[in-house]
Chain A
Amino acid sequence: MRCKEVKQRISENAGVLDRDVDEHIRACPACKRAAQAALMVQNALNAARGAEPVLPLSAVRERVEAAAKRHEHKTPLEKLMSKINEACHARPRLWAGLGAALVVFLFLTLIPFSYSRTVGYQVTVSGVGGNLDISPELLAATLSTVGYEDISISRSSEDDSDGYTFANLSTKEEAEDVAETFTVLAANPGQPEVKPIRENVTWSLLAQAVDKVVDKVVDGKPKTLKMRFDKHKIIINQEEIDGTIFSVDLSDEQVRDAIEKVLTHHGVSLDEISVAVVTDTPKAIRKISLRLPDSTSADGAKPHIDLYLADSVVGAVFEDGDDQVRFENFIEITFPDKELNGHSIFLKVPLKPVDSLKAKER
């Protein structure tokens, strides 16, 4: 007989040991010890049996009714405090946890800490070549045509080079955009530097966290998809997309699927934009149309963009209201803002017109 089985039988039949068990425990000190312990438990339980004198019921009744009366005469506030006290005693861990959470919450909301927050961005460009003669006013007018109307621009001159500062930019993306625009406009643009404008405040940790999170939340704002076209690649929201979608070996459907996959990856619903790909074989031009639903935005912008791909050259064509055709290689599409109930497409920074494509298309 094994010790495990013996110990089990000992627990079940304390004090009454059958012959097999008895023989085993004579030879096994560990089981003998277990049997002694089981016997002690049984003896202790037996000794505790039987009624012991208790308080008479009348005395108990008197005490309980006095306590009940005291409870009835309590004010509502005392009753509430008593209930809270009881609840705390019944669930001490829960209440200790809630108390700790409250302390942490108060610490996060009431104790102020010094905090440096970003209130905007500025772009500084130094060492611009002297042959660039653009006044801040002209720069402001140029930038306003691409959507930046409230930018404050200042120019400083040193020896044979100029420096420009663009301030009042609310986001880093805007600042980088402006820096890029300036790089295109200036022949020798120097090194644009995007710097955050910081403000020191004394806020609670929670307010600081909310401030940081609010900066990141894009929900409720129009979704923006920035697409840049290069010879062999598309860059969407600064992420480079594999250039294989331009391969002439791919069918139109494969190209369409690839573009749709890219758009979906960037959070664009295919209900918001439709993709069509058509190859004009004689002209060796593949036309990719990105179309928004048939509605125009309040500012009258066109609801579609066509991209043309040919001979490893990529460009986007925009047909404006006067039937003029311009080619761009940098577009920014702003997706629906529910409150505006419309769509808008912004074209930015005209770069190199792809004349060959234009000619082929015509």
Chain B
Amino acid sequence: MNSELFWTLLKPVHPMAAGFCRKLTGDRDEGDDLYQDGLLAALRNFDTLRDEATFRPWLFRILINRYKNRQRSGWWRRRITLNTEVVEHDRKVNPQDEYNSRRWLQRALSALSPEDRALIVLYEIEGWPVAELAATFGRPAGTIKTRLRRARRKMRETLERFMPRPGTEIIIDEVPYALQRSKAADK
């Protein structure tokens, strides 16, 4: 196993991959944990990489698979991650706004399957082109576009449910949340 080559190839990808894991999990510690876990798996299987040019999609594929496995292993505890950690933030942005924005994002992402979640993070946040997503996920570009469209709609619908209606909101940490309404009430 050529360990040095692995670390050399990882160097340019590292900030994006580490950030991707944090965004994917919605939690800094959990993201770092996922990243290290994924790197360990990648290092062990480095021999299976045939073309060094495909290192990035190969690594991300491993990270996404590890994430899927982690999500599956917690299937009985279906928790919604609410990121309340203190994060380093851009001084130009109001920390309260940034915090709220993260909470809404996690709320919207929690409605997606692990793979769709990875797709949205890579496309919308990391700015990957559809062609590279298609190569990483091993699916045609048309399928990727359809899944992105569906995922966006699902995120919108999820937030819609949580958006306050007049007289139904509650305030938590100065953020207004909609009280859960039953489906019958919505009808």
List A residues at the B interface (Cβ < 8 Å).
Answer: 7-8, 10-12, 14, 33-34, 36-38, 40-41, 43-45, 47-55, 57, 60-61, 63-65, 67-68, 71, 88-93
Measured CA separation A324–B124 after assembly (Å): 99
Contact B155 A49 (CB under 8 A): no
Chain B positions within 8 Å of A93 at CB level: 72, 75
Contact A47 B101 (CB under 8 A): yes
Contact A55 B18 (CB under 8 A): yes
Contact A44 B101 (CB under 8 A): yes
Contact A57 B7 (CB under 8 A): yes
Q: Which residue of the partner chain A has the closest CB to B26?
A: A48
Contact A60 B18 (CB under 8 A): yes
Chain B positions within 8 Å of A10 at CB level: 156
Pairs across A and B, CB under 8 Å, 6 listed: A11-B152, A36-B163, A37-B156, A45-B125, A48-B102, A63-B36
Q: Which residue of the partner chain B has the closest CB to A53?
A: B88
Chain B positions within 8 Å of A88 at CB level: 73
8 tightest A-B contacts by CB?
Answer: A44-B105, A54-B18, A89-B73, A47-B101, A37-B160, A37-B159, A90-B69, A11-B153
Chain B positions within 8 Å of A64 at CB level: 36, 39-40, 43
Contact B43 A92 (CB under 8 A): no
B47 at the interface (CB under 8 A from A): no
Contact B36 A60 (CB under 8 A): yes
B49 at the interface (CB under 8 A from A): no
| Distance of B22 from chain A, by nearest CB (Å) | 7
Contact B14 A57 (CB under 8 A): yes
Contact of B15 among A48, A54, A67 (CB under 8 A): A54
Q: Which residue of the partner chain A has the closest CB to B35?
A: A60
Chain B positions within 8 Å of A11 at CB level: 149, 152-153, 156
Measured CA separation A43–B23 after assembly (Å): 15
Measured CA separation A63–B11 after assembly (Å): 15
Contact B108 A41 (CB under 8 A): yes
Contact of A33 among B87, B105, B160 (CB under 8 A): B160
Known: A37-B159, A49-B127. A67 touches B18 (CB 8 A): no
Residues of B in contact (CB 8 Å), total 48
The dominant DSSP class at the A interface is: helix
Contact A41 B88 (CB under 8 A): no
Measured CA separation A14–B120 after assembly (Å): 14
Q: Which residue of the partner chain B has the closest CB to A58?
A: B7
List B residues at the A interface (Cβ < 8 Å).
Answer: 3, 7, 10-11, 14-16, 18-19, 22-23, 32, 35-36, 39-40, 43-44, 69-70, 72-73, 75-76, 87-88, 90, 93, 97-98, 101-102, 104-105, 108, 120, 124-125, 127, 149, 152-153, 155-157, 159-160, 163
| Distance of B176 from chain A, by nearest CB (Å) | 12
Measured CA separation A352–B24 after assembly (Å): 91
Q: Which residue of the partner chain B has the closest CB to A49?
A: B125
Measured CA separation A57–B12 after assembly (Å): 10
Measured CA separation A12–B156 after assembly (Å): 11
Chain B positions within 8 Å of A91 at CB level: 72
Contact A52 B88 (CB under 8 A): yes
Known: A11-B149, A11-B153, A44-B101. A52 touches B36 (CB 8 A): no
| Distance of B13 from chain A, by nearest CB (Å) | 10
| Distance of A199 from chain B, by nearest CB (Å) | 47
Q: Which residue of the partner chain B has the closest CB to A36?
A: B163
Q: Which residue of the partner chain A has the closest CB to B103?
A: A44
Chain B positions within 8 Å of A14 at CB level: 152, 156
Known: A11-B149, A68-B40, A89-B73. A48 touches B23 (CB 8 A): yes
| Distance of A164 from chain B, by nearest CB (Å) | 67
Chain A positions within 8 Å of B88 at CB level: 52-53
Chain A positions within 8 Å of B163 at CB level: 33, 36-37, 40
Q: Which residue of the partner chain A has the closest CB to B104?
A: A44
Contact of A57 among B11, B69, B75 (CB under 8 A): B11
Known: A40-B104, A45-B105, A64-B36. A89 touches B23 (CB 8 A): no
Contact A68 B44 (CB under 8 A): yes
Chain A positions within 8 Å of B153 at CB level: 7-8, 11
| Distance of A44 from chain B, by nearest CB (Å) | 4
Q: Which residue of the partner chain A has the closest CB to B76?
A: A92
| Distance of A89 from chain B, by nearest CB (Å) | 4
Chain B positions within 8 Å of A41 at CB level: 104-105, 108, 152, 155-156, 159
| Distance of B10 from chain A, by nearest CB (Å) | 7
Chain A positions within 8 Å of B70 at CB level: 89
Measured CA separation A60–B157 after assembly (Å): 38
